[in-house]
C-alpha cells in the first residue's frame, strides 16, 4: 500500500491535517479521519482538510472538512485557511484570488503575508450570514427572520441563545464572564434536539465596541482554542444586537481573529493566520487497522 503524504497546520492553535485526496485513503473516510486525528495514537488534529484539484472556472480546489469524529463540516474558517497555506507552501497557488469550493459555497482567499513558508496571513471572504431559523437550522415555535434571545431548555436550566449560519450553524450565549461550566453546557446544546444538524456553541463576553472574547465548543470536535466560523458567528451576532461595531477583534485562547461584516454588501471578511507545523507520511495500512480511539 502507498503511504499518504500529509501536512499539519494550525490557525490560532486550531490544528488541521491537510491532505490531497488519493485512492490510498480508502473509501471509509470517517474511519481514516478518526484514526489520524487521534491525539495519542494518531497525528492529532481538530480535523482534516481534503483537497481535490478542480478543472472548472468556479474554484481552484475542492476542500472537504472532516471533523475528528468522522462527521462532515460544511465549512471551517481555520481549516480552509490551513488548506490555503498548504497550497501556497507546495507551489500549487500564488495566493492571489485563491478559490476553494466548500459545502457552504466558494470561499476566496488573499495572501497578505508569507514568512519563510512557515507563517501565513490571509484575508478570506466567506459569504453572507443567514439568520432565519430554517437556514441555521433551529426548530422554533414559529418561523422567524432572525433567532435572537431565544430561550432553550437544558436539563433544569434555561439559557438565552442567539443563532446564525456563517457556513456552519453557530449558537451564541452572551455572558459577563466564563465562570459558568461552559464545557458541560456546550455539548448539551451542540446535540440539542432543536438543532437537527447539531450546532457550534460559543460563549461570548463583550469587552468594548471593537473587542469581544469567546470560548468555543465545536460540533464534532469539542473544545477548541479557536474557530473561524465561531469567531464570525460571535462577531456578527454581537453587531446584529448593537453590542459592537461591525468590525471587531475576536479574542480566543488561541489568538485574535479580525472579523468585518461589511455593511455595503453584507459579506463577512476574516483576517487570520495559518502556521506550518510539520509534514509526514501516514502509513496507509494504519488506516485500515483496527484501533481504539
pLDDT 10s per residue in the chain (293 long)?
Answer: 689 999 999 999 999 999 999 878 888 999 999 999 999 999 999 999 999 999 978 999 999 999 999 999 999 999 999 999 999 999 999 999 999 999 999 999 999 999 999 999 999 999 999 999 999 999 999 999 999 999 999 999 999 999 999 999 999 999 999 999 999 999 999 999 999 999 999 999 999 999 999 999 999 999 999 999 999 999 999 999 999 999 999 999 999 999 999 999 999 999 999 999 999 999 976 655 544 44
State residue 2's pLDDT score: 82
Contacts of 239 (CB under 8 A, 6+ apart): 245, 246, 248, 261
pLDDT value of residue 234: 98
Residues belonging to the chain: 293
- pLDDT value at position 288? 53
Q: What are the cell numbers at 44?
A: 492529532
Q: Give the β-pairing of 247-252 and 211-218.
A: parallel
> What are the CA-CA distances from residue 120 to residues 4, 11, 77, 251 (Å)?
24, 9, 14, 19
Indicate the burial class of 264 (C-beta count within 10 angstroms; 0-12, 13-18, 19 or more).
Answer: exposed
Task: Give residue 290's pLDDT.
Answer: 46
Alpha carbon separation from 74 to 18, 138, 242 (Å, rounded): 16, 16, 28
pLDDT value at position 287? Answer: 58
Domains present along the chain, CATH in parentheses = 4-127+275-288 (3.10.310.10), 147-266 (3.10.310.10)
The pLDDT value recorded for residue 285 is 63
Q: Within a 10 A sphere around the Cβ of 77, how many other Cβ atoms?
A: 30
Angle subtended by helix axes 77-89 and 228-240, to nearest 10: 130
Closest CA to 139 of 156, 151, 128: 151
Structure confidence at residue 27 (pLDDT): 86
Amino acid at each position: 500500500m502507498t503511504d499518504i503524504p500529509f501536512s499539519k497546520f494550525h490557525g490560532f492553535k486550531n490544528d488541521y491535517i491537510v491532505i490531497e485526496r488519493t485512492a490510498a485513503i480508502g473509501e471509509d473516510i470517517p474511519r481514516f479521519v478518526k484514526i489520524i486525528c487521534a491525539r495519542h495514537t494518531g497525528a492529532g488534529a481538530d480535523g482534516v482538510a481534503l483537497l481535490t484539484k478542480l478543472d472548472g472556472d468556479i474554484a481552484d480546489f475542492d476542500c472537504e472538512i472532516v471533523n475528528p469524529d468522522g462527521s462532515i463540516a460544511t465549512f471551517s474558517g481555520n481549516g480552509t485557511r490551513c488548506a490555503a497555506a498548504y497550497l501556497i507552501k507546495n507551489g500549487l497557488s500564488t495566493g492571489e484570488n485563491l478559490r476553494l469550493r466548500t459545502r457552504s459555497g466558494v470561499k476566496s482567499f488573499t495572501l497578505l503575508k508569507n514568512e519563510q513558508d512557515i507563517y501565513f496571513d490571509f484575508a478570506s471572504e466567506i459569504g453572507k450570514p443567514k439568520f432565519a431559523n430554517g437556514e441555521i437550522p433551529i426548530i422554533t415555535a414559529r418561523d422567524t427572520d432572525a433567532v435572537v434571545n431565544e430561550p432553550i431548555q437544558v436539563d433544569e436550566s434555561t439559557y438565552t441563545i442567539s443563532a446564525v449560519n456563517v457556513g456552519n450553524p453557530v449558537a451564541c450565549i452572551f455572558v459577563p464572564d466564563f465562570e459558568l461550566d461552559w464545557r458541560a453546557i456546550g455539548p448539551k446544546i451542540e446535540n440539542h434536539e432543536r438543532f437537527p444538524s447539531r450546532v457550534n456553541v460559543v460563549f461570548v463576553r463583550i469587552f468594548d465596541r471593537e473587542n469581544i472574547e469567546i470560548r468555543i465548543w465545536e460540533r464534532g470536535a469539542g473544545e477548541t482554542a479557536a474557530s473561524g466560523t465561531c469567531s464570525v458567528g460571535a462577531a456578527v451576532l454581537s453587531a446584529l444586537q448593537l453590542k459592537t461595531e461591525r468590525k471587531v477583534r475576536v479574542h480566543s485562547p488561541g489568538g485574535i481573529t479580525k472579523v468585518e461584516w461589511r455593511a455595503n454588501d453584507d459579506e463577512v471578511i476574516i483576517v487570520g493566520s495559518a502556521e506550518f507545523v510539520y509534514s509526514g507520511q501516514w502509513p496507509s495500512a494504519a488506516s485500515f487497522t483496527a484501533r481504539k480511539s
